[in-house]
Amino acid sequence: MLFHVRMDVHLPPDLPTETRTDLLAREKARALELQQQGVWPELWRIVGEYANFSIFDVASNDDLHTLLSSLPLFPYMTIHVTPLANHPSKLRPDVT
């Protein structure tokens, strides 16, 4: 199943620099791992915001929740999820 996910990050301004640096490094490592596994095939930065649009390809809603909650930045995110389905006018449908 494909999901369009918007993630907005809200790090506390008083977060210690060392903690912030570690958190961001762990987030990047986890994001790269999930992309290499193929479950996070698309990731775009939203210009001018600390946010992204992503496409996730997972088996279920529960799998998506587990994946998102595994992100180190999860406690600092506002997340909006939209399940996706094939459009009948799409030239080459690739979602089953």
Q: What is the pLDDT of residues 9-64, one digit of tens each?
A: 999 999 999 999 999 999 999 999 999 999 999 999 999 999 999 999 999 999 99
Task: Report the predicted TM-score, pTM, of the whole model to 2 decimal places.
Answer: 0.90
- Decide if 46 is inside a domain: yes
What's the domain count of the chain?
1
Could you tell me if residue 9 is inside a domain?
yes
89 lies in a domain?
Answer: no
Range of the domain at 79: 2-84
CATH, residue 76: 3.30.70.1060
The answer to whether position 90 is within a domain reads no
Instruction: Identify whether the C-beta of residue 68 lies closer than 8 Å to the C-beta of residue 39.
Output: no
